[in-house]
Chains A and B, each alone.
Chain A
């Protein structure tokens, strides 16, 4: 069965006037103790159901943006809101609740090698929702969504890179987050596998989940024609609703 067939239609990317953004940055800057200015005066608003590519060269500040969102880093100046809550002033005790709003995947998958695929996915639920009923069914359902329903008892080392990333996506998805963050999820994958991962993220977005994907994969961004936030030297230099990797008419060597 095609996944798209069971998905609800895509949630609109153009917000109604007055709609509250699910993520917003207000004049956010981040300077590291060594003086490096990773993010400079960023203003952003991302709405429920958006699919955003955050593009830019390595070191442009994409990862810092993601880390600021989940409060892995604290902004030096400015304010960040997630789901109406200001995260910049949030106490450590409230961070777990903030992070449960997110599903996060990374370039290096971050799977636990001694756990099976099903155990890796279940781990996220055991941590976030101890005592969760029908845990097995939820894990199996999520693994079906990412197309790994026949790999339940397989260990990560026995999977390909693309499959490992799908497990990471399933783990990020199993607790049904409102926002999905992907930091260079295709960075270690070949073009075909990368495209498969992006299609999966698009399908997740079809279900109404906001997706924010940091990438420097030009082909994928150009093919999808979704919202593009371009960062250069820590500044947002472009924010297009249906953009490409580069500005129209812009060229690189």
Chain B
């Protein structure tokens, strides 16, 4: 037990000494790996954000607005609402009045005041809004809506149905996930190669130390542990640096995006925390594994 504790202490102290005695080489490795971590983290977060935006768009796409004529009575509208609510393809029905349509348009940032001044009244139609169970039913419901006598065709179309948008969104989500995945995998391999070579350089500097340890009768794992711990330490430090940079950039870019666009992206703190934990674990594993591979060559020399 005393021997084991002494070995652990030796490995920890040696790892710390290795790191600080060759600070320039160690920090070069940490910064290089930190940069890779920044790229991996950035890619993950970007993929997630794009995915979230697209998912949000997809949620909105399962809605169809049936534009109504201005002259309809509330009773007629209620009859049609009830009719749609009994349709099995429909998940939810809502009514948007002309005034509510103005409010919603203004929330999306549309400037309607000049249009009101020219036209003298509210040009936006009221609508019955249907949420469909499956996106494939949108086309059929659109055809049904167009045949109804209550629809307003004065603006050119009876609904806001856009048949091309759904497949485009779905393929965009698939592409984003794939590109993000492949990019992350490529970056992971690159960082493994970089950390391996950095550790190999660090190990090369200390080859005499390894040689002496072997000659005086140290076991392979006794020689390996300080280097592996040093790799883990460097990996965690690099991941912490990368993750901090990603988190700061995420906050900043999100604020900018929400100020300058109307995407309404929400800050996903849970995903960010999970990503930081993942990056740190990934950094530790990568650093440890890179060191294991780096020192292997010298052990078997």
Contacts and interface: CB of A to CB of B under 8 A. Distances in A.
Contacts of B216: 99-100, 104, 123-124, 127-128, 171-172, 175
Interface string B66-86: 000000000000000000000
Interface stretch (B3-11, B188-196, B228-236): B3-11
Contact of A128 (B2, B4, B211, B217): B217
Contacts of B218: 96, 127-128
Most B C-beta atoms less than 10 A away, residue of A124, A131, A172: A131
B39 to A, nearest CB: 35
Contacts of A128: 216-218
A114 B20 CA distance: 12
Interface in B204-242: 208-209, 211-220, 222
A127 B217 contact: yes
Q: For chain B, which range describes its interface: under 10, 10 to 19, 20 to 34, or 35 or more residues?
A: 20 to 34
B3 A99 contact: no
Main secondary structure of the interface of B (DSSP, over half): helix
Contacts of B3: 129-131
Interface string A99-118: 11010100000101010000
Contacts of B4: 130-131
A123 B212 CA distance: 9
B7 A112 contact: no
Interface residues of A, number: 25
A114 B22 CA distance: 11
A126 B219 contact: no
Contacts of A127: 10, 213, 216-218, 222
A132 B2 CA distance: 9
A124 B222 CA distance: 12
Nearest to A92: B220
A96 B10 CA distance: 17
Contact of B212 (A102, A112, A114): A112
- Sort A-B residue pairs by CB-CB distance and give the 5 closest, nearest first: A131-B6, A100-B217, A130-B6, A99-B217, A131-B2
Interface of B: 2-7, 10, 21, 208-209, 211-220, 222
25 contacts: A96-B222, A98-B217, A99-B214, A99-B216, A99-B217, A104-B215, A112-B208, A112-B209, A123-B216, A124-B216, A126-B10, A127-B213, A127-B217, A127-B218, A127-B222, A128-B217, A128-B218, A129-B3, A130-B4, A130-B7, A131-B2, A132-B6, A171-B212, A172-B216, A175-B217
